[in-house]
Structure 1
Amino acid sequence: MKNKRNALLCMVILLAGFIYFPVQAQQKQTKSGDSSAGPNRIARNIIQDKKGNIWIAAFDGVFRYDGKSFTNITSTVSSVTFFSVLEDRKGNLWFGSIGSGVFLYDGRTFKNFTTREGLSGNGVTCIYEDKTGNVWFGTDGGASCYNGKFFRNYTMKEGLTNNSILAIIEDKVGKFWFGTSGDVCIYDGKRIRVFTHKGKHFNVRSIIEDKQSNIWLGCVDGLWRYNGSTFTNVTRNFVGYIYEDKKGNIWTSSESVNNRDWASSSYDKKVLSGLTGEKDLWVLSRYDKKSLSNKRPAVTEIKPEKGMICGVLEANDGSIWFGASDGVYRYDGNTINSFNHKEGQK
C-alpha cells in the first residue's frame, strides 16, 4: 500500500547522508509567457507574495497572477512538473519540482539546485522557511536545510523512519516536525524521534500549527488535532492539505464527510477516483474557529465537482484560492471561479 501511495505522488525513496554541501548552482536568465488564463493541469501549491501577486506551482509550470493576467514564469526554463512554491524573507521565490530539484528565482534569473549541489533528493514536495531564515526542502531523499551556502541533510541515517518528506514546520518552541509517508518525526536540534499516539503512527500529507499552538495533522486516515496533551480525531477521511485563515478557521482539501464509510484500506481506489474527476469525492472543508475545541467541529463543505483538490490560500481580499486537478479556482464566499485554459476566466 505504501508503495502505491508513493507512486501516486511521484515519490521515489532514496537514501542520502547527513552531509554539508557547498553550492554552485546553474544560473539562467529567461523571458516568461503571458496568458489571460492560469494553469490547465494539477495545481499543487498556492501562495501570495509581499507585493500581492499570487503564485501557483502546477504540473504545467509556475504561474504568477498580478490581479489581471497570468504569467507562466517557468515556460522557457523547464517543462518539469512543479509541486511547491515559497517566497523567502528576502523576496526570492523557490519552486520545487519533481525530478529536477528546486529553482531559485530572484525576479530576473534562475538558479537550479539538485543532488549535484547537495540537495537530498530531486523530487521536492514542500518548502519551508524557519525562524532564522534557513530554507527547508522536503524531498524524496530526505529533508534538506539550506543556509544560503550549504545544504544539511536529514535522512534515515539520522533517525527518520522514511526519506519521503511531504511536510515540514517549525513549532513555537523551535522543534521541527517532519511529515513522511510513514510517520511523523520531531527534531529538537539534537535528535529525531518518532511521534505516535497510543502506538498509532501518522501517515501525513500536511502539518500546521494554528494561532492557539495546536498541531494539525492531515493524514491518509483523517484530520487530527493535538493540543500538547490530548488528540482529537476530527474526521477519519483522507486529508491532503490544511490551512488556517486570518479568522482562525481551518480549511482542508479532503474527502467529503459523507464518505466516512470508506475504510482507509481503500485509499488507493479513492485517490485514483479523485484524479479521474469523480464528483462529490473531494471537497473544500471549512471548520469554524468557534467550534474547533469540540470533538466534532462545525464544518462547511464547498464542492467544486472538479475531482482532486490540492493547496489552499486565503488571498488579501479574503477570497479562497485552491488548486484542483485541472487548474486553479477562486471562491469568494458565494461562487467558484475558474482560471484554467479550458473554461477561461469566469
Structure 2
Amino acid sequence: MHYSRVYALLLLAVFLISCGQNQRGVEGVKSETQDTVTAYGPTTMVRNVRKGSNGTILIAAARGGVFRYDSTRVVEKRFTNLTTRIGSHRFWDVLEDRQGNLWFASTDAGVYRFNGKSFQHFTTEEGLANNAVTSMYEDKAGILWFATGGGVSRYDPSQADGQSFRNFTTKEGLPNNNITTIMQDKTGKLWIGTRGEACFYDGKTFTVPRTKEGKAFTNVWGITEDRHGNIWFGATIIKAKKGATLVVSVGLWHYDGSTFTKINQRGASAIIEDRKGNLWTTGDVQPNGVGAWKLLRYDQKSLSNQKPTVTEIMSIEKMLCGILEAEDGSIWFGSIHGVYRYDGKTITDFKNKAGQDSLKKLQQ
C-alpha cells in the first residue's frame, strides 16, 4: 500500500508538471534542447525573410522552423534554428521588435515571443483573433499588428496581460476576416490586404479603396510604400461574374495619393523597395494563375513611366515568396524549397552543398 501511494503521488506530480509546461501565455517555456546550428538553410517553403539585429537575417520556413543567418560566423555554423525548443509548426513570419524580442507567427499555433531566454505563447486564449497568423507588423508607436485568419489583432506591449489585445473583424468594419498583410504608410494609415477586399484603416474607419470603375482590390498579399510616399501592391480585380465563374484581372498597382494606376499584368505576392529606389517583386505573372513565378526588378528611373523597365532575375515553376534587402545590398527571397540570395551577379541556393560551394567561391 505504501509503494502504491508513493507511485500515485509520483504520477500526480508528473501530471501537474506536464500541465504546467503546456500552459499558454506563461513566461518560462524552457528546455535543455539546444538550438540547431548548421551550414545549410531550410529545405521547406520559406514564406518570409526579415532583418534581424547586427546584420543578421531571419527566415520563417513552414515546417522547417525559424532560422537566423549570421554572415560573421564560419560557413559551417551560419544558420541557427531558433524554434527547435517549441516544436514543428507552420511558421509564416518572423519579426524582431524594437525591444529585441523575436516573434514567430504560425498558421497552426498562434504566435510565440522569445526574449532571448524563454518563450511566451499567445493564442486565442490570450486574446488573438485567430490562431492562424500569416504576417506581423510593428508600427511607428511600437504597437504590433497580427494578420490572422479571423481578423486583425492589435497588441500593445505596454499594457498589462489580459488587456494587451484588441481585435478587429467584420463586426468593426473589416471587409474580410482572412488577413494576409499589414503595412503603415507615412501618414499613419494602415493598409490591410485580405483574401477578399483590401482596405486601409485611419484609426477610426476601415475604407475599401476602389478603381475609377468602382472595383475593389482583392487577394492582396504584398504592399509597400516607396520613398516618395507612393503605395505599390499586387491585386486581383474581379471584372465580372458569369454564374460561378469569375472573370479577373491580375496586376501591379500604384497609388500616388489620389489615383490608382495599373502598371502591368504581373502579379506581386511580395514587394519591397531597395535602397536605390528599385522595386522588387515575386509572384505569378500570369493573369490566369498558371505559369512560372518570377523575381522581378523594376528600375527606379522608370517607375514614373506607364511601363517601367523590368528585369527578370529568376524564374521558377512553383512559388517564390517574401523578399528582403540585406545590409550588404544583396536580395534574399523565399521559395517553396528554401531561401535564395542574389548578390547582383549570382543566385545562391542555401539548402544544399552545391549552393554552399557557390557561396564559398564568391568569398574567395
Superposition TM-score tier, normalisation by shorter sequence: 0.7 to 0.9
Kindly state the Cα deviation for residue 66 of structure 1 after the two structures are TM-superposed. Answer: 0.9
Kindly state the Cα deviation for residue 237 of structure 1 after the two structures are TM-superposed. Answer: 2.7
2:199 maps to 1:185: yes
Paired position in structure 1 for 2:216: 201
Per-residue CA shift, 1:258-281, capped at 9, x if unaligned?
x4xxx4xx33xx2xx6xxxxxxx0
The 5 Å alignment of 1:190-339 reads 190-198=204-212, 199-203=214-218, 204-220=220-236, 221-256=250-285, 259=286, 263=287, 266-267=288-289, 270=290, 281-305=292-316, 307-339=318-350
Paired position in structure 2 for 1:8: none
Q: In 2, Cα distance between the equivalents of 1:184 and 1:29?
A: 40
Q: In 1, Cα distance between the equivalents of 2:200 and 2:260?
A: 17
Contact map agreement 1:27 1:112 (CA 8 A) in 2: no
Of 131, 137, 140, 1:128 maps to 137
Moved over 6 A (4+): none
Paired position in structure 1 for 2:58: 55
Q: In 1, Cα distance between the equivalents of 2:174 and 2:260?
A: 23
Rg larger for: 2
Per-residue CA shift, 1:304-337, capped at 9, x if unaligned?
5363110111111111111011000111111111
Paired position in structure 2 for 1:97: 106
Paired position in structure 2 for 1:76: 85
The one of the two structures with greater contact order (alpha-carbon pairs below 8 A, sep at least 6) is 1
Per-residue CA shift, 1:252-304, capped at 9, x if unaligned?
00234xx4xxx4xx33xx2xx6xxxxxxx011101011111111111111125
Contact map agreement 2:30 2:85 (CA 8 A) in 1: no
Kindly state the Cα deviation for residue 251 of structure 1 after the two structures are TM-superposed. Answer: 0.3
| 3-state DSSP of counterpart to 2:125 | helix
Superposed CA RMSD? 1.6
Q: In 1, Cα distance between the equivalents of 2:317 and 2:198?
A: 30
Contact map agreement 1:27 1:109 (CA 8 A) in 2: yes
Paired position in structure 2 for 1:66: 70
Q: In 1, Cα distance between the equivalents of 2:338 and 2:317?
A: 10
Q: Percent identity?
A: 50
| 3-state DSSP of counterpart to 2:208 | strand
Unaligned ranges ≥5, structure 1:
1-22, 274-280
Contact map agreement 2:27 2:118 (CA 8 A) in 1: no
Under a length normalisation based on structure 1, what TM-score does the superposition of the two structures give? 0.85
Q: In 2, Cα distance between the equivalents of 1:301 and 1:111?
A: 42
Under a length normalisation based on structure 2, what TM-score does the superposition of the two structures give? 0.81
Unaligned ranges ≥5, structure 2:
1-23, 237-249, 359-364
Contact map agreement 1:135 1:146 (CA 8 A) in 2: yes
Aligned length: 306
Contact map agreement 1:29 1:110 (CA 8 A) in 2: yes
